[in-house]
Amino acid sequence: MHHRTALFLPALLCLAPAFAAPPVDHSGDGEPAFRALYKELVETNTSHSVGSCTLAAERMAAHLRAAGYAGEDVRLFSVPEAPKDGGLVARLAGTDPKEKGILLLAHIDVVEAHREDWTRDPFQFIEEDGYYYGRGVSDDKAMAAIFTDLMVRLKQEGYKPRRRITLALTCGEETSGVFNGADWLGRNHKDWIDADFAVNEGGGGDLDEQGQRINMGFEAAEKVYQDFQFESTNPGGHSSQPVPKNAMYDMSEALLRLSKHEFPAMLNDATRAYFGRMADIKGGETGAAMRALLANPQDEKANAIVSADKQWHSMLRTTCVATMINGGHAPNALAQRVDTNVNCRIYPGVPVDSVRDTLAKVVEGTGVTVTIKEPRSTAVPTPKMDPRVLALVDKVSAEMFPGTPVLPMMTTGATDGIYITGAGIPTYGIEGMFSDPDLGHIHGLNERARVSEVQNGRRFHYKLVKGYTSN
């Protein structure tokens, strides 16, 4: 498309200099080079068991160096304890050194994938019927490839941003308890990655069953995952002579109380923006109830209407639910011990200890004890929504997907965003890509991504990054 514009440009300028030529759109340029880079990244196995993020990072660094990044503008990092879990940080300096600019964050590790379970080789990049197939084509190598390719293109264009652009490719997102590059950077090298905000996975758009766009997501907050242990113990005895005090009944009483406990409704910048926009989309009684909640989160009537939806219920509060139970040791014995795992999704800004205290109060008098299980989650500050960033996402989205609303949200899932937000860099999930209702089978078999959406993502981030950094 830009070639046609370029051909007409001189003629237009000669004949009618008063008319400005339409802006040249380079956002989709270089597609074959992008595809090759994306393929190389997907075909580099980065699963924790047998793969290497370090190798993938080296391969991406080679593209950046070939484009002209040198010295401290492209760094590979790893720690001796986890030599295969390395990553990279690259930087395109801004002309204004006081500006921190934007951080592009993507994880390059993938969930395990076994050849025998998949229809196709999970580490072979395949394009078929409008989809890319392969482990990581969606989560999260599409964004990792889009960002790396973007850094390469901006350098090749000779782009001189006013605000700097930083890329971080990290490992360890998909496996808990291993070296996590985002966490490590946030703790040890914030200076390498510091930015006004970070763009991360999460917050993609949704397509319906027919492939129609429903809304573009903008993830502005994440709840915190934390497991708690409920425990009841009893001396036990022979089951032929039961006594009223019983470890299982104590636990039952505690869990029934938990089932009736509701944490108070809360709002933050992300959910205020979400319910504000959703109220307009839904209208009617539901829309009115959302507006009432925005005015007073403790409005009980409004709460009952909105919280009837399980997703909205969870967006409004901390939730805790029993997920695993273990108890007793023989069919003919009174239980000496019952353990229950209680999984909580804590509202950002609420301390883990205060949730433990609340749970302890809920079960008070049952004899059940409540403890925080390891790993203890990192505390996440209440996220601030930068209106400039939301306005920019609105603008780019309206340009590319007119009529599709952008919905800010708080997810109940977890990404590396918690570490970067925790390091003081607000992190938003902005994908610029839409996914099918099956979410592209991420983490599952035959992971896939729509070719058209990956191309949209490339254009989206090109526009977003230039939009933020050019002035």
Nearer to Zn ion, 229 or 446 (CB): 446
| Minimum separation from the CB atom of position 106 to Zn ion (A) | 8
Contact between 218 and 390 (Cβ < 8 Å): yes
* Minimum CB distance to Zn ion smaller for 139 or for 222: 139
Give the interface segment with Zn ion, choosing from 38-46, 133-141, 143-151, 274-282 (CB under 5 A): 133-141
Please list every residue from 356 through 375 that binds Zn ion, using CB under 5 A.
none
Nearer to Zn ion, 94 or 203 (CB): 203
Instruction: Specify the amino acid at residue 400.
Output: M
* CA count, 13 A, side-chain hemisphere, 222: 25
For Zn ion, the closer of residues 153 and 345 by Cβ is 345
CB of 48 to Zn ion, least distance (A): 13
Residue with Cβ nearer Zn ion (94 or 440):
440
| Least Å from the CB of residue 218 to Zn ion | 17
| Least separation in angstroms between CB 182 and Zn ion | 11
Stretch near Zn ion under the rule CB under 5 A, chosen from 137-145, 239-247, 311-319, 404-412: 137-145
Q: Which of residues 32-91 bind Zn ion (CB under 5 A)?
A: none
Q: Which is nearer to Zn ion, 101 or 134 (CB)?
A: 134
CB of 173 to Zn ion, least distance (A): 6
Measured from the CB of residue 271, what is the shortest distance to Zn ion in angstroms?
22
Contact status, residue 328 vs residue 232, Cβ threshold 8 Å: no
Q: Of 85, 139, 227, 416, which lies in the binding site for Zn ion, with binding defined by CB under 5 A? A: 139
Residue 191 · residue 333 · CB < 8 Å:
no
CA angle, residues 282, 286, 287, in degrees to nearest 5: 55
Taking CB under 5 A as the binding criterion, the range among 8-16, 132-140, 332-340, 377-385 that sits at the site for Zn ion is 132-140
Q: Which of 42, 33, 200, 44 is nearest to 131 (CA)?
A: 42
Residue among 201 and 453 whose Cβ is closer to Zn ion: 201
Binding residues for Zn ion restricted to 168-207, rule: CB under 5 A? 201
Tell me the closest approach of the beta carbon of residue 110 to Zn ion, in angstroms: 8
User: Counting contacts by CB under 5 A, is residue 140 touching Zn ion?
Assistant: yes
Select 289 or 449, whichever has its Cβ closest to Zn ion.
Answer: 449
Q: CA nearest 247: which of 364, 329, 337, 322?
A: 337
| DSSP label of 423 | T
Closest to Zn ion by CB, 140 vs 149, is 140
Q: Dihedral, CA atoms, 13, 19, 22, 23, nearest 10 degrees?
A: 80
Longest dimension (CA), the chain: 103
Q: Please report, as a single letter, which amino acid is at residue 451.
A: V
**Between residues 170 and 307, which has the closer beta carbon with respect to Zn ion?**
170
Query: Residue 343: what residue type?
Result: N
Q: What is the DSSP string of 27-82?
A: TT--HHHHHHHHHHHHTS--BTTT--HHHHHHHHHHHHHHHT--GGGEEEEEETTE
CB of 176 to Zn ion, least distance (A): 13
- Least distance to Zn ion, CB of residue 229, Å: 28
Query: Do 264 and 277 meet the contact criterion of CB atoms below 8 Å apart?
Result: no
Residue type, 358: T
Burial class (CB in 10 A: 0-12, 13-18, 19+), 4: exposed
Binding span for Zn ion by CB under 5 A among 26-34, 69-77, 138-146, 291-299: 138-146
Q: By CB under 5 A, which span of 81-89, 135-143, 184-192, 216-224 interacts with Zn ion?
A: 135-143
Under rule CB under 5 A, residue 219 binds Zn ion = no
Whole-number Å distance between alpha carbons of 281 and 278: 5
Q: Are 49 and 105 in contact (CB under 8 A)?
A: no
Do 89 and 78 meet the contact criterion of CB atoms below 8 Å apart?
no
The site that binds Zn ion (CB under 5 A) totals a number of residues, namely: 3
Minimum distance of Zn ion from residue 170's CB (angstroms): 11
Chain residues binding Zn ion by CB under 5 A are 139-140, 201
